[in-house]
């Protein structure tokens, strides 16, 4: 189901108008969940970290034993070609994806070199700086590498995230803080998470249970470059209740302020706004 409005799809060597069918009923990805994707953004004439997102979808494919068939360089060029056909002032969600076509042993193991590939360009507005969300806790947790492909941005991971979000929405919250298997905060159901205490910025240390995001890394670089003290460390739910500010970091919105965690409220914070400003300054610069 489309999230946005106008869509362009790259499939089987050409660009198509609209949300075209790309998968068959017997494709391995359709019935066994062997699909990966990534997400980049086009807004205000720029596509920040596009190369990194295209590079990561190829790594994700390999983690799921799907053979990537498009080089990072060629994928970047295909995206640029597709964006050239979109309105210049549009905000676009850029989604390259792979899925396995055929299976080998008992059809379960994906066959090498039989891979579907598509790019979806979907027009979705960038959220405003003031568009905040609220968080609660969830009984569900992040999986570990021994049981799930947490080293990939894989479609098969998202039903677990859906359970988290459904639980949060049933309690009247917009999102949820999620623990790892040891009970420490890992991320939200949809994005990485940061907190601010006494002017210093903290984020859960990447421990292999969640994707340490490309936008997360960019925020850390920007913060350090601009003199902020940052910490990648083990964080508890109590740490977040004691925080001065909390914000989410993801490709879709880049920075999302958090106004409450359960019964703890947060005021709009200067560091959260500074992180957003620094990201936009970098993205619109010659380095972005």
What is the tens place of the pLDDT at every residue in 184-239? 999 999 999 999 999 999 999 999 999 999 999 999 999 999 999 999 999 999 99
| pLDDT tens digits for range 122-163 | 999 999 999 999 999 999 999 999 999 999 999 999 999 999
Query: In this structure, are strands 200-204 and 230-233 parallel, antiparallel, or unpaired?
Result: parallel
Q: What distance in Å separates the CA atoms of residue 64 and residue 156, rounded to the nearest whole number?
A: 10
CATH number of the structural domain spanning residue 151: 3.20.10.10
Question: Is residue 1 predicted with pLDDT exceeding 80?
Answer: no
User: Is the pLDDT reported for residue 286 higher than 80?
Assistant: no
Rounded to whole angstroms, the Cα distance separating 66 from 115 reads 7
Mean pLDDT of 8-19: 97
Whether residue 189 is found in the same domain as residue 276: yes
Q: What is the mean pLDDT of residues 34-47?
A: 97
Give the residue ranges of DSSP H helices in 64-213: 72-83, 158-170
Q: What is the mean pLDDT of residues 91-111?
A: 89
| Of 98, 123, 148, the domain-final residue | 123
User: Residue 108: which pLDDT band, with cuts at 50, 70 and 90?
Assistant: confident
Statement: residue 3 has pLDDT above 90: no
Q: Largest alpha-carbon pair distance within the chain? A: 57
Return the pLDDT at 46: 97
Assign 4 a pLDDT band (cuts: 50, 70, 90): low
pLDDT at site 202: 98
Torsion of CA 75, 78, 80, 83, to 10 degrees: -120
Can you give the pLDDT at residue 103? Answer: 85
Give mean pLDDT, residues 35-51.
97
**Domain annotation covers residue 60:** yes
Q: How far is CA 144 from the centre of its chain?
A: 18
- In this predicted structure, the answer to whether residue 104 has a pLDDT above a threshold of 90 is no
For residue 189, with 0-12 CB atoms within 10 Å meaning exposed, 13-18 middle and 19 or more buried, which class applies? Answer: buried
Is residue 1 in a domain? Answer: no
Are 276 and 182 members of one domain?
yes
Same domain, residue pair 119 and 138? no
On average, the pLDDT of the chain sits at: 95
pLDDT higher than 90, residue 288: no
Same domain, 143 and 259: yes
Alpha-carbon gap, residue 186 to 204, rounded angstroms: 6
Asked if residue 173 belongs to a domain, the reply is yes
Let me know: does 114 contact 100? Beta carbons within 8 Å: yes
Please tell me which residue, 104 or 95, carries the higher pLDDT value. 95
What pLDDT, on the 0 to 100 scale, is given for residue 213? 97
User: 261 φ, ψ to 5°?
Assistant: -125, 105
Question: Residue 84 pLDDT > 90, yes or no?
Answer: yes
pLDDT at residue 2 in the model: 65
CATH code, domain with 49 = 3.30.470.10
| pLDDT computed for residue 47 by the predictor | 97
82 shares its domain with 108 = yes
The 10s digit of each residue's pLDDT in 231-282 is 999 999 999 999 999 999 999 999 999 999 999 999 989 999 999 999 999 9
pLDDT band at 5 (very low <50, low <70, confident <90, very high): confident
Q: How many CB atoms lie within 10 A of CB 231?
A: 14
- Statement to judge: residues 115 and 200 lie in one domain: no
Helix (H) or strand (E) holding 212: none
Structurally, the chain folds into a number of domains equal to 2
């Amino acid at each position: 189901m489309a999230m946005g409005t106008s869509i362009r799809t790259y499939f089987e060597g050409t660009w198509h108008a609209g949300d075209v069918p790309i998968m068959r009923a017997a494709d391995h990805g359709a019935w066994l969940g062997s699909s990966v994707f990534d997400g980049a953004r086009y807004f205000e004439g720029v596509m920040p970290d596009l190369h990194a997102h295209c590079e990561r979808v190829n790594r994700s494919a390999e983690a799921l034993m799907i053979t990537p068939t498009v080089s990072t360089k060629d994928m970047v060029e295909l995206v640029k070609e597709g964006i050239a056909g979109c309105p210049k002032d549009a905000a676009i969600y850029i989604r390259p994806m792979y899925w396995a076509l055929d299976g080998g042993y008992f059809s379960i193991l994906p066959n090498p070199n039989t891979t579907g590939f598509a790019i979806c360009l979907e027009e979705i507005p960038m959220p405003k700086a003031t568009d905040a969300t609220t968080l609660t806790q969830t009984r569900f947790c992040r999986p570990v590498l021994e049981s799930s492909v947490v080293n990939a941005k894989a479609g098969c991971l998202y039903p677990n995230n859906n359970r988290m979000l459904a639980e949060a929405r049933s309690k009247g919250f917009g999102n949820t803080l999620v623990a790892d298997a040891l009970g420490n905060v890992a991320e939200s159901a949809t994005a990485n998470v940061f907190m601010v205490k006494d002017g210093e910025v903290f984020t859960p240390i990447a421990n292999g249970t969640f994707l340490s995001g490309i936008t997360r890394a960019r925020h850390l670089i920007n913060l350090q470059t601009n003199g902020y003290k940052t910490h990648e460390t083990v964080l508890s739910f109590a740490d977040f209740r004691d925080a001065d500010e909390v914000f989410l970091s993801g490709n879709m919105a880049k920075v999302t302020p958090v106004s409450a965690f359960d019964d703890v409220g947060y005021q709009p914070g200067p560091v959260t706004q500074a992180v957003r400003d620094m990201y936009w300054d970098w993205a619109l610069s010659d380095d972005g």
